[in-house]
Amino acid sequence: MTIKHVAADAGVSLQTVSRVVNKETGVRPQMAERVQASIDRLGYVPSIAAQRMGGSRSYLILALNDRERTIADWRARQGTDWVDQMLLGGMLTCAEHGYRLIVELVDTHSDHIERELLGAIAALQPDGVILTPPHSGNPLIIDLLEAQDIRFVRIGSISEGPGVRLMMDDARAARIATEHLVALGHRRIGFIAGPAEYELSGWRVDGWRAAMADAGLACTDLLASGDFSHASGRAAARTLFALPEPPTAIIGSNDQMTLATLELARETGRRVPEDLSLISFDDTPIIRLAHPPLTAIVQPIAEASARAVSLIIAGLAGDPTPDAPITVAAELTVRRSTARPPASG
């Protein structure tokens, strides 16, 4: 089934069918509906190769994800819910517009990053690129894409520069997590931060500090840092547990570090939530299956990637690039890992 069959069935020109298939303007709504009806009836599937030959678009959107961390999680069989959710939102939205989403893993610390990116761009000729943390804040990558005149969205970055900036409101998320614990009566609330190379790590710390300050609570000695790995979360939790006055609640900046905290709590005789309340970020499946199921900030990753795809496609259609950062809000899901602090806490 070819575009010629669709044109004959709808009684229109090949150019009209091409415009409808490529989501271009200049076709009356009634005509577009007639062409689409023929496409659906005949089961016509546009050829991406033909589309690329017939115009300047590739109908491909490229998403760049952190190679080192993603592969490490795959090899450890710890799951990569971030990638799964990114694909869910991005692929479905691409399909609605006749696009395809391709994921490339890039090491942001690589000395060959420029060569790798230029090679991928030359091979794929993407119409747009989605940058995820920490790539979204990497000046080298941002400048390279700008020089190549490629539309791109930076998820998890609000630093000044080219591209559309899209954030999941991490500061607010950390704030509502902290406020939940404050409302339960906690006064010593620890926080395990992520690595500094991720902009969102700083935003989460800011949100925690702001909520603590609003409640008149001190943050001194209650901040520990990790690198999003299980081992670093365990080390950070050990530091907080060793304080003269340990926290009665801890917020972990991702699920692996929070699970490590839960594990160490059990080993040191702390019951969750009777002795220690825990809140995590991300809300991957393992968090919901933990014992007890953990209260968590649910990151709207699928919604963010869907929005990123829509913004790229809208830009290709001529819509202006938003100047201000776009926010997709996260939410707190309360489960059984948070409760009032112990009477001595």
CATH, residue 13? 1.10.260.40
Position 288 in a domain: yes
Position 53 in a domain: no
55, pLDDT greater than 80 = no
Range ranked top by mean pLDDT from 35-49, 60-74, 323-337: 323-337
| Same domain (yes/no): 140, 245 | no
Q: What is the rounded average pLDDT of the residues 233-238?
A: 97
258, pLDDT greater than 60 = yes
Percent of the chain with pLDDT over 70: 95
Which region among 68-82, 136-150, 240-254, 274-288 has the lowest average model confidence (pLDDT)?
68-82
| Same domain (yes/no): 87, 198 | no
Per-residue confidence band for 234, with pLDDT thresholds at 50, 70 and 90? very high
**For position 47, what pLDDT does the model report?**
61
Which has more pLDDT, 342 or 345?
342
Which one, of 82, 147, 69, lies nearest residue 108 by Cα? 69
**For position 107, what pLDDT does the model report?**
80
Per-residue confidence band for 44, with pLDDT thresholds at 50, 70 and 90? confident
**For position 209, what pLDDT does the model report?**
97
Position 267 in a domain: yes
- What residues are paired with 102 via a beta bridge? 62
Query: Can you read off the two tokens belonging to residue 190?
Result: 């620890």
Provide the number of structural domains found in the chain. 3
Chain mean position to CA 154: 10
Q: Collapse the DSSP code of 327 into the 3-class scheme (helix H, G, I; strand E, B; otherwise coil) and give the result.
A: strand
| Same domain (yes/no): 113, 27 | no
Q: Where are the alpha helices (DSSP H) in the chain?
A: 3-10, 14-21, 29-42, 48-54, 67-76, 81-96, 113-124, 139-147, 170-184, 199-214, 230-241, 255-267, 285-288, 301-316
| Same domain (yes/no): 157, 214 | no
For residue 277, give its domain range: 170-298
Which has more pLDDT, 173 or 113?
173
344, pLDDT greater than 60 = no
| Same domain (yes/no): 311, 293 | no
Per-residue confidence band for 345, with pLDDT thresholds at 50, 70 and 90? very low
CATH, residue 155? 3.40.50.2300
Position 149 in a domain: yes
**For position 53, what pLDDT does the model report?**
46
82, pLDDT greater than 90 = no
Q: Does residue 166 contact residue 307 with C-beta atoms inside 8 Å? A: yes
**For position 319, what pLDDT does the model report?**
86
Position 51 in a domain: no
**For position 250, what pLDDT does the model report?**
98
| Same domain (yes/no): 139, 204 | no
**For position 20, what pLDDT does the model report?**
85
